[in-house]
Amino acid sequence: MLNKHLNLNPKLFDSDVEQAPLRDGFGKGLVKAAEINEKVVGLCADVTESVRMHWFAQKFPDRFIQTGVTEQHMASCASGIAAMGKIPFISSYAMFNGGRNWEQIRTTICYNDVPVKIAGSHSGLSVGPDGGTHQALEDMALMRVIPRMEVVAPCDALEAEKATVAIANTKNPSYLRLAREQTPVITTADTPFEIGKSVILWDNTAQVDCIENRKPPTKNSRNSRVAIIACGTMVHKALVAGRELASRGFGVIVVNNHTIKPLDKSTLLNVASKVDFVITAESHQIYGGLGGAIAELLSENMPKRMAFIGVRDKFGQSGTGEELFKHYKMTHVDMVNAAITFAEG
């Protein structure tokens, strides 16, 4: 059952669901954040329109700094700006902003303890045709391991907008994971968002549990309660998989885990306590990102069998998003199959 309290997009399962890129949400959110707080400044490394910082740059030309193609310098320059009391957002593609400038982010931003906000656009497989060089599949792992860093991967454009406004208010450095492609809009303006608060989008476990002598979802099924914990552009696929599994008799909880760090331990452990099996889904390597974070949390507190949906130690390649998700076994069907395999196992 979709969570009624979240004011989700009523058309979210429709084939003509509204779509928008996460980066657009960032661009709008940045203008909002800048209107609210005059300390917000923006830096970009020659991809301003592409990462949607141009709306900010047009509205606040005196607070925009074009650094040219200098991601390493941009990160440290923002550190200096933050040391003077401002809140700089730095933006480029995740592969370069988060990837190329990792050590500058670690030392001059996080170790230095200044609130620089890092927007990594064009993350994940869905960059598609640009190919493997441009598909950042390691960025959440890279960012998550740095002390003090917050890591946020919003699920749709509206959430990206809210996340942008929200990270402008935290005193820590933050990494905001964005994507280029059209992504179904799951939330509405009225859907709550809070950094560090995971969102239960779907939960039909109560209904399933109360049906006496219910029909098992598969032939020999014993373990039929499953959680799908997803982030970013994979959340919509997780919802589609969740609904499908529910229709087959599974008890399913679908979590939008937009904040990878700090993890919402209480919500996640509570979810885990209600299920037999946990699936994580991310457009990222299965190592070190969302799946890694959840595995660390569960194995320390409440060990569960898990399946990891993501790229399995491979580089990306050119193709449409759809082709690539199929190739790397990252569609909603793969999530459904993971649950069935477990239930029958």
**Which of 108, 183, 198, 259 touches other proteins by CB under 8 A?**
108
Residues 6+ apart with CB under 8 A from 123: 93, 94, 136, 139, 153, 177, 178, 179, 232, 283, 284
Q: Which is nearer to other proteins, 83 or 302 (CB)?
A: 83
Stretch that binds other proteins, among 105-113, 184-192, 245-253, 324-332 (CB under 8 A): 105-113
Q: How far apart are CA 106 and CA 270, in angstroms?
A: 33
Give residues 270-289 in contact with other proteins (rule: CB under 8 A): none
The H or E element that residue 141 is part of is: helix 139-144
**112 three-state secondary structure:** coil
**Which of 103, 209, 296, 322 touches other proteins by CB under 8 A?**
103
Using a CB cutoff of 8 Å and minimum separation of 24, what contacts does 62-70 make? 63/34, 63/38, 65/41, 67/43, 69/45, 70/45
**Which of 54, 111, 130, 270 touches other proteins by CB under 8 A?**
111
- Residue 51 Cβ vs other proteins, minimum distance, rounded to whole Å: 19
Stretch that binds other proteins, among 61-69, 185-193, 277-285, 322-330 (CB under 8 A): 61-69
The H or E element that residue 113 is part of is: none
Residues belonging to the chain: 345
- Residue 106 Cβ vs other proteins, minimum distance, rounded to whole Å: 9
Q: How far apart are CA 250 and CA 51, in angstroms?
A: 40
* Binding flag, residue 68, other proteins (CB under 8 A): yes
Cross-strand pairs, 252: 226
* Binding flag, residue 73, other proteins (CB under 8 A): yes
**Which of 3, 50, 112, 170 touches other proteins by CB under 8 A?**
112
Q: How far is CA 2 from the centre of its chain?
A: 20
Give residues 20-59 in contact with other proteins (rule: CB under 8 A): 41
The H or E element that residue 73 is part of is: helix 71-83
Residues labelled catalytic:
71
* Binding flag, residue 86, other proteins (CB under 8 A): yes
Binding interface with other proteins (CB under 8 A): 41, 62-63, 65, 67-68, 70, 72-86, 88, 103-104, 107-108, 111-113
